[in-house]
Homo-oligomer: A and B are copies of this chain.
Amino acid sequence: MSDVEIVSIETLGERIAAVFRKAGLSPDQARAVARVIAAGERDGCKSHGLYRIEGCLKTLAAGKVVADADPVVHDDGSAVIRVEAGGGFSCLAFERGAPLLAERARSLGLAALVINDCTHFSALWPEVESLTDHGVAALAMCPSYATVAVTGGDRPLLGTNPLAFGWPRPGTAPYVFDFATSVAARGEIELRRRAGETLPEGWAIDAEGRPTTDPTEALAGAMLPFGGHKGSAISTMIELLAGVMIGDLTSTGALDRLGTTTLAPAHGELILAFSPERFAAGRPGDPFARAEALFEAIVGQGARLPSQRRYAARAKAAKDGIALTPAEAAQLRRFETLGLAALG
C-alpha cells in the first residue's frame, strides 16, 4: 500500500479538472473532460484514463482544440438535435445536448444528436451510459483518423471508428458495448512491437498492401477491420453516417487536417436514442423485463455480458477508491504543478 496513492473518484475528477484549467481550458470544458477521464480510470480502462491527459494537453499545446469553446445547441423541434462544439472537446458538447436528446426520444420515439466540429479523444461508453441513465437506448458512432484499410484495399482509408450501444437495465448497470471496428487497437500493435512479438494473421497489411504479421510493417501500413468484409462495411457506414451525412470530416479528412495520429482528431459524432416505451407501446410484454430474460439466458449459458469488467472495477473504486501507481501519481502531480510546461 505504501507504493500506491488512493484517491476517491470525486477527488480524482477534481484534480484532473484543475490540471485542465491550469492548462487553459474553460472551467466547463475542464470539468467535462475530467469527468470522462476519471470515469475511465474508475472503470479500469487504462487506455481511456489518466493516460489520456497527456494527449489532450498536447492537442491543446498544438493549438488543435479550442480551450474555451462554448458549445451551442440547435433545436428545430425535429428528430435531429445538433450541437456545434466550436472546436472544443466533444465531452461538453455531448453534455449540453444529451438531456434534450433523451427528451426528444421520449416524445418522438427516436431522435439523433449530431455533434459537429469537436475534438474527440474519449470512449463512447460514457455517452451511451449517460443516455441509459435517462431511460433510453442509445447507439453512438464516430470516425477517427485514417489508419484502417477497407477489406481488399491497400492503404488506410477508414478510422478505427468505434460503435457503442447501451440498453437501460432498471436497478443495475446498463447493457453496454463499445468497440473499435478495427480488428485491434493501434496501441496493441505498438505494444507487440515493443515486446518483439508478431501479430496474429488478419490484423494488418504493410505499406504495399500485403498481409503482414510484423508490427513495424503494420504501423507503416494499415490495420484491418474486424470481421472481414462485414466489419469493413460497418466501418464504411460509420464514415457515411457520422462523417459525410452530418457534414463533418471523414477519417481521411481528419488525418489530412491534423497531419498526425498523435493528437486527438477533429470530426463529428452521431448518437441515436430510442425510447423502448414508445417503441413497445400497445404491444405485449414489458421491453425492460423481456430484455432481462435475454440477459439471463446469455449469463445462464456461462457467457459474459459486455462491460462487466468495467463494472467490477467501478464497484471496487466506489468501495476502496482508485489506486494510482507511483508513476501515475507522480505524473499527475507534474501536470498539476507545471500545466502545459509538463509536456517539456
Chain A interfacial positions (CB closer than 8 Å to B) = 78-80, 107-112, 114, 116, 137, 139, 149-155, 157, 163, 165, 167, 175, 177, 179, 181, 209, 226-231, 233-234, 236-237, 239-241, 244-248, 250, 252, 272, 274, 276, 278-285, 287, 290-291, 294, 297-298, 301-304, 306
Collect the chain B residues with CB atoms within 8 Å of residue A233's CB. 165, 177, 179, 306
Collect the chain B residues with CB atoms within 8 Å of residue A274's CB. 112, 241, 245
Chain B residue with Cβ nearest A225: B227
* A246 & B78 in contact (Cβ 8 Å cutoff): no
Chain B residue with Cβ nearest A154: B301
Collect the chain B residues with CB atoms within 8 Å of residue A179's CB. 229-230, 233
Collect the chain B residues with CB atoms within 8 Å of residue A284's CB. 247
Cross-interface CB contact of A157 among B234, B282, B287, B297, cutoff 8 Å:
B297
Collect the chain B residues with CB atoms within 8 Å of residue A282's CB. 247
* B298 & A236 in contact (Cβ 8 Å cutoff): yes
**Alpha-carbon distance between A245 and B279 when the two chains are bound, in angstroms:** 6
* B247 & A285 in contact (Cβ 8 Å cutoff): yes
Q: Which of A107, A110, A181, A294 has the most CB of B within 10 A?
A: A294
Given contacts A230-B179, A287-B244, A297-B252, contact A80 B279 (CB under 8 A): yes
Number of copies of this chain in the oligomer? 2
Collect the chain B residues with CB atoms within 8 Å of residue A291's CB. 240, 244
* A246 & B294 in contact (Cβ 8 Å cutoff): no
Interface on chain A toward B: helix, strand, loop, or mixed SS?
A: mixed
Chain B residue with Cβ nearest A305: B236
Q: Shortest Cβ distance from A338 into chain B, in angstroms? A: 38
Cross-interface CB contact of A153 among B241, B250, B302, cutoff 8 Å:
B302
* B80 & A303 in contact (Cβ 8 Å cutoff): no
* A111 & B112 in contact (Cβ 8 Å cutoff): no
* A301 & B152 in contact (Cβ 8 Å cutoff): yes
* B150 & A245 in contact (Cβ 8 Å cutoff): no
* B112 & A303 in contact (Cβ 8 Å cutoff): no
Given contacts A110-B111, A279-B80, contact A294 B240 (CB under 8 A): yes
Collect the chain B residues with CB atoms within 8 Å of residue A301's CB. 149-150, 152-155, 157, 209
| Shortest Cβ-Cβ A-B pairs, 10 listed | A247-B283, A227-B227, A80-B109, A152-B303, A153-B301, A79-B108, A177-B233, A153-B303, A247-B280, A79-B110
Given contacts A80-B110, A80-B278, A245-B279, contact A231 B240 (CB under 8 A): no
